[in-house]
Structure formats: structure tokens, C-alpha cells
Amino acid sequence: MDHRDMTLSMEELKRLKSGFNKAEEKGVKDALILMGDKAFIASIKNKTVITTVNKEQLKDNVFTNIDGAVIV
């Protein structure tokens, strides 16, 4: 997230954690978590954010190697 110059508020961190929990409940291993104008590719199993994408980078983007998506 530092490389993308992205910071999250405490509320956004809570929403991201909620996205992890929802994905885990459904058995998702690698997820796309969409939150407002931000997107996160996350390893649910490892509880790690792999990649972050901001609003400008979302356009015309293809996400691969995920097995679920969560919108929070």
C-alpha cells in the first residue's frame, strides 16, 4: 500500500477486515475486495493484501488468479 501511496482510515480498515471475514466464511482463498474507489487483491488464507488498486487504475483492468469477490 505504501508503493501505491494509499492510506486507509480506521473505518476503511474495519470494512477491509469484514471483507476478509466474508470471503473466509465462503471458502474463498484469493479474493478481489472492492471498497468504494479502492480494490484489493488478497490472500484470504494468509490474511495478506497482495495488491492494491486505486480508482484510476481500476479502469480497463483484468483481475486474474482470484476465486471470489467481495464488495464492502
How many domains does the structure of the chain reveal? 1
Domain, as residue range, for 49: 10-71
Buried b / exposed e across 22-49, counting CB within 10 Å, b at 16+? bbbeeebebbbbbbeebbbbbebeeeeb
Q: Is residue 36 part of a domain?
A: yes
Q: Is residue 14 part of a domain?
A: yes
pLDDT digits (tens, 9 = 90+) for 36-47: 989 999 999 999
pLDDT band, very low/low/confident/very high, at 5 (cuts 50, 70, 90): confident
Q: Which of 13, 59, 62, 58 is nearest to 38 (CA)?
A: 58
pTM of the model: 0.90
Q: Is residue 21 part of a domain?
A: yes
Q: Is residue 49 part of a domain?
A: yes
pLDDT digits (tens, 9 = 90+) for 46-70: 999 999 998 888 888 889 999 999 9
Q: Is residue 4 part of a domain?
A: no
**72 and 35 in contact (C-beta within 8 Å)?**
yes
Q: How far apart are CA 23 and CA 69, in angstroms?
A: 8
Q: Is residue 1 part of a domain?
A: no
Q: Is residue 41 part of a domain?
A: yes
Q: Is residue 5 part of a domain?
A: no
Pairing of strands 68-71, 48-53: unpaired
